[in-house]
């Protein structure tokens, strides 16, 4: 399974996953041109995409959904409530081939099972995803709200993880943000911090090959700070990388063997 984060953060979110049998685009927060350019730079092409999956209705995840649906001519997998809210938030234009899922259930795209977890994030009907292609399991968990039981129960089943690590607690507390916004970010409907993300990862098994820290705040976090916090909790046993807020992140590979240690084949 190959993972290419095309962008991650409040400026736009989009992740390309090649499961080995299907290619799926998760979230639609960047333009078709950026999707195509960044895939081309990694030796891939937008014509490979078989489906779009939407996590929730915030603009940085759905802002370009209508255009991507029409340009790619592929189905959109989205919950009914998320679609209704999206139609109110952005000018989608005509869209086609809408396929609904219910957060908490599992649906399939081709041969790939996509397990969904409802999140307490303050979007409408938000979901985090775990992909299972029969050989490996990859978690794509962002905009979580807070740490919840299903995450802790599932993380030890994963071979790789893309997880939000949104803010540094000290940076947020001393930021120029108004109190209501600080409370929203750190509250149960906002985001999880570097420390909280590291604690989630600490529950993973030794089969976890890598973790990509995602959705870093531009104002209240920094890649070096995030990595340092995670290292303090996790030590050096796990390969960690931070997703980029404005560009594609280096492609990552999930080994097909759950028992295989991280190898030189991690990058494709």
Which pLDDT belongs to residue 204? Answer: 95
In DSSP notation, 145-189 reads BS--HHHHHHGGG-SEEEEE--B-HHHHHTSSS-HHHHHHHHSTT
Pick the CATH number of 2-252 from 3.40.50.300, 3.30.420.40, 3.60.15.10, 3.40.50.720: 3.60.15.10
pLDDT tens digits, 165-224: 999 999 999 999 999 999 999 999 999 999 999 999 999 999 999 999 999 999 999 999
The 10s digit of each residue's pLDDT in 226-240 is: 999 999 999 998 999
Statement: residue 262 has pLDDT above 50: no
pLDDT value at 264 more than 60: no
What average pLDDT does this structure show over 105-130? 96
Beta carbons within 8 Å of 155's beta carbon, 6+ residues apart: 139, 161, 200, 201, 203, 204, 208
Q: How would you classify the pairing of strands 160-164 and 137-141?
A: parallel
Provide the residue ranges of all domains of the chain, joining segments of one domain with +: 2-252
Question: 260 pLDDT band (50/70/90 cuts)?
Answer: very low
When pLDDT is cut at 50, 70 and 90, the band that residue 258 belongs to is: low
| pLDDT 10s digits, 137-171 | 999 999 999 999 999 999 999 999 999 999 999 99
Question: Which pLDDT does position 232 carry in this prediction?
Answer: 96
pLDDT computed for residue 256 by the predictor: 81
Output phi, psi for 139, to 5 deg: -95, 130
Q: What percent of the chain has pLDDT over 70?
A: 96
Per-residue pLDDT band for 81 (boundaries 50, 70, 90) equals very high
What phi, psi does 219 have (nearest 5°)? -95, -30
């Amino acid at each position: 399974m190959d993972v290419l984060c095309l962008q991650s953060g409040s400026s736009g979110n989009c992740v390309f996953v090649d499961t080995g049998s299907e290619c799926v685009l998760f979230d639609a927060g960047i333009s078709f041109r950026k999707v195509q350019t960044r895939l081309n730079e990694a030796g891939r092409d937008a014509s490979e995409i078989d489906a779009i999956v939407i996590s929730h209705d915030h603009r940085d995840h759905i802002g370009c959904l209508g255009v991507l649906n029409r340009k790619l001519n592929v189905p959109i997998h989205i919950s009914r409530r998320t679609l209704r809210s999206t139609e109110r938030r952005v000018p989608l234009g005509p869209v086609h081939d809408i396929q609904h899922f219910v957060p908490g259930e599992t649906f399939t795209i081709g041969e790939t099972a996509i397990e969904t977890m409802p999140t307490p994030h303050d979007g409408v009907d938000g979901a985090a995803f775990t992909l299972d292609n029969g050989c490996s399991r990859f978690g794509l968990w962002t905009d979580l709200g807070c740490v919840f039981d299903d995450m802790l129960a599932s993380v030890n089943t994963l071979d790789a993880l893309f997880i939000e690590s949104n803010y540094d607690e000290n940076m947020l507390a001393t930021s120029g943000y108004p109190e209501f916004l600080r409370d929203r970010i750190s509250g149960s409907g906002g985001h999880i911090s570097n420390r909280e993300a590291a604690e989630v990862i600490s529950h993973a098994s030794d089969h976890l090959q890598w973790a990509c820290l995602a959705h870093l705040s531009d104002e209240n976090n920094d890649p070096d700070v995030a990595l340092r916090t995670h290292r303090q909790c996790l030590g050096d046993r796990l390969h960690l990388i931070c997703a980029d807020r404005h560009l594609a992140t280096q492609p990552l590979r999930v080994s097909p063997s759950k028992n295989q240690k991280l190898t030189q084949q991690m990058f494709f």
